[in-house]
Amino acid sequence: MGDHKEQPLRVGAAVRRRRRALDLTLAVVAERSGLSVPFLSQIENERARPSQSSLEKVADALRTTAVELLAAADPACSVDVVRAEDTDPPLVPRTRSLVRGHHQMHASEFTGDHDAGRELQFRNDQLMYVADGAVEIEAEGRAYRLGRGDTLYLTGGVRHRWRATVAETRLVVVAVAEHIEALHDRQQRP
């Protein structure tokens, strides 16, 4: 149920994200690709599915490849349930993805501890939520102790590390996906 591998891909959002990341108008992409502005608009709004040839023309105009656009495409289904019992038997520590597929948001659940000495740094923002147990997070030279129900928000680029301080701790991390240029957008604002 909800397996994205069986769903058709919606490439329009990936085309729009790439075009906007390059700060291009539909008219510029139309000129570069030889396709019409209305057709490109229909692609971006999922009202038209481009042929392989048209997708390659769009990709060339956006200085990427059709494969990359398809990799960044969203699955056509908009609802997907990830059930706790869908995962392998619990092995501590473990990581479980809470969102399947390639989306603008990523979420994972960490159970137990992990390599506490490993420093992490992500391009985009993250929210860390302690579902059960307790963690200690070191960020920006300070240590934060979080218990069940506590959250910590980290903006993109913050170096941090964390460790579970209680056995069977469950930490949920929700982040803007790495393929999204959220940090770039924030830097452009006045």
pLDDT tens-digit map of 52-101: 899 999 999 999 998 888 877 766 555 555 666 655 555 446 777 777 66
Where is 134: in which H helix or E strand?
strand 134-139
pLDDT tens-digit map of 115-167: 667 788 887 888 899 999 999 999 888 999 999 999 999 888 888 999 999 88
Going along 12-103, which residue ranges are E strands?
74-75, 94-97
